[in-house]
Structure 1
Amino acid sequence: MKKTAYLGAAAIAAFAAALATPAAAQDAGTIEVKVLGTAVLPNGEIDSIEGGTLATTVDGLGVQTEANDNFVPTVAVEYFFSPNISVETICCVTAHHVDATAPAALAGGNLVDKIHIIPATFTLKYHLGAAGGIRPYVGAGPTYFLFIKDEVGAGAISALGATDANLDDTFGLALQAGIDVPLTESFLLSLDAKRYFVKPNAHFYDASGTELLQTQHKLDPWVLSAGVGFRF
């Protein structure tokens, strides 16, 4: 609920500012660089069981999972094609683990550990507000989650007999809303909310390389950022 309220508040602020001022923005060719503190709040629940020798057993147990939150620094770079339209990309690495939440016998067990993700993301943004004033925006675009590290967790070893785990790199979609508030002619304060829709597959293998289980996870993180930017 708090995550939904954050995105809703950003969208309301954007449209309220748009009504109060005429549409205008930076000139074409303007670049903005932002340094942000970012909360990455994933879901991580199992969306479906895709296969593996233990698929029927795990499905019958009603196994469910969740991913932990993380807080990371983020750099965003934005280029304006026109006064109101820009494209933005972000740079960060976020780390998580996936734990079982059900059944009770497995709850708290670590299934996938030390997951490191590069969420390569580009969003096309539309800006509202007057030049030099408050800059609300909305955006959307593709993302590609690159899993650069993942390890089998102790819970998967004890419950499944797994010795290896792997997550598939996955394409998805990102939606965005936020607002930029000028502090000086060149510096600004930025508040940003993104919702990602990404469903990677996790694979668990035994020592012989046999796939014991393949699960698809509803990762779908909220990514909430605040920080400062420089315009040039």
Structure 2
Amino acid sequence: MKIKSLSLAIISATALLSGAAQAYEAGDFIVRAGLVSVNPDVDSGNLHAAGIEQADQKVDVNNDSQLGLSLTYMVQDNIGIELLAATPFSHNLQGKGGLSGLNDFAEVKHLPPTLTVQYYPMQNNSAFQPYVGLGLNYTIFFSEKFINGADAAFGSLELDDSLGLAAQAGFDYQITDNWSLNAAVWYMDIDTTGTFKNADGSGDYKIDVSLDPWVYMAGVAYRF
């Protein structure tokens, strides 16, 4: 009876390992979805008015969280290509230094599509699948506008789109043949220049800002 029980245990363990061996293979698609938080690490230049730099007149940008979605295609057992997308993020621009009296003075939305090549170091019989990635981020800014009374003094706000490098680390933990838990973090190089005018269309203002956000995602993954 002990030998029979041991044999059954070995067979069960082998079956479990055999199922885990189907974790990720070349040709698989992996959809990941969850909550994404964009946390800018802002480095603001000074405001330029009519080409003249204004000392200690800077801006800051708040965080925002939205639903995120990514799609990975496994070109090899250990190599994947991922496209990250999300619903539009909305951020407030806040005055800093000599502009701190403005508080939240503008709002902008953006989409940050990011393409990365991923490396999965573990064998595909592991339920725990960490990965790292490197690629490009293209951030699209839109719906820029002044708020909280600042629109009475200024208008024509525009932020340049940004193209930069992106680095990523994350993991999936398999809970069934197809479903996994997922967590990931990205660092994105995002630089933009904001321009605007007085409300009557006169004057020229410009400010350069490095956003360089840390982006966090937690959710689930589905393999098919």
Q: Is the TM value for this pair above 0.5?
A: yes
Q: Is the 8 A contact 2:23 2:177 kept in 1?
A: no
- Larger-gyration structure (1/2): 2
Shift of 1:211: 4.8
Residue number in structure 2 paired with 1:9: none
Cα deviation digits, residues 128-186 of structure 1 (max 9, x gap): 1121421111111111111121112347557xx42221111111111101111111111
2:89 to 94, 101, 105: 94
Residue number in structure 1 paired with 2:40: 42
One-letter amino acid of the structure 2 residue matched with residue 67 of structure 1: V
Cα distance 1:210–1:44, how it changes in 2: closer, same or farther (>3 A)?
Answer: farther
Q: Is the 8 A contact 1:55 1:212 kept in 2?
A: no
Shift of 1:200: 0.7
1:53 to 50, 54, 68: 50
Residue number in structure 1 paired with 2:129: 135
Residue number in structure 2 paired with 1:226: 218
Output the CA distance in 1 between the equivalents of 2:42 and 2:208: 9
Cα distance 1:45–1:65, how it changes in 2: closer, same or farther (>3 A)?
Answer: farther
One-letter amino acid of the structure 1 residue matched with residue 215 of structure 2: V
1:30 paired to 2:28: yes
One-letter amino acid of the structure 2 residue matched with residue 97 of structure 1: N
Corresponding residue pairs, total: 201
One-letter amino acid of the structure 1 residue matched with residue 109 of structure 2: H
1:75 paired to 2:69: yes
Shift of 1:71: 1.2
**5 Å matches for 1:44-193?**
44-47=42-45, 49=47, 51-53=48-50, 55-56=52-53, 59-60=54-55, 62-92=56-86, 93-103=88-98, 106-107=100-101, 109-113=103-107, 115-133=108-126, 134-154=128-148, 156-157=150-151, 161-193=153-185
Q: Is the 8 A contact 1:40 1:223 kept in 2?
A: yes
SS in 2 for 1:142: strand
Shift of 1:36: 1.2
Output the CA distance in 2 between the equivalents of 1:156 and 1:202: 15
Output the CA distance in 2 between the equivalents of 1:85 and 1:121: 17
Cα distance 1:214–1:43, how it changes in 2: closer, same or farther (>3 A)?
Answer: same
Shift of 1:107: 3.9
Output the CA distance in 2 between the equivalents of 1:124 and 1:163: 40
Q: Is the 8 A contact 2:151 2:199 kept in 1?
A: no
**Which structure 2 segments of 5+ residues have no match?**
1-21
2:197 to 199, 205, 223: 205
SS in 1 for 2:154: coil
Shift of 1:205: 1.2
Output the CA distance in 2 between the equivalents of 1:41 and 1:128: 28
**Which structure 1 segments of 5+ residues have no match?**
1-23
Cα deviation digits, residues 20-68 of structure 1 (max 9, x gap): xxxx97222110001111111113341355x541633xx22x1122111
Q: Is the 8 A contact 1:109 1:156 kept in 2?
A: no
Output the CA distance in 2 between the equivalents of 1:72 and 1:64: 26
The alignment-based identity, stated in percent, is 25
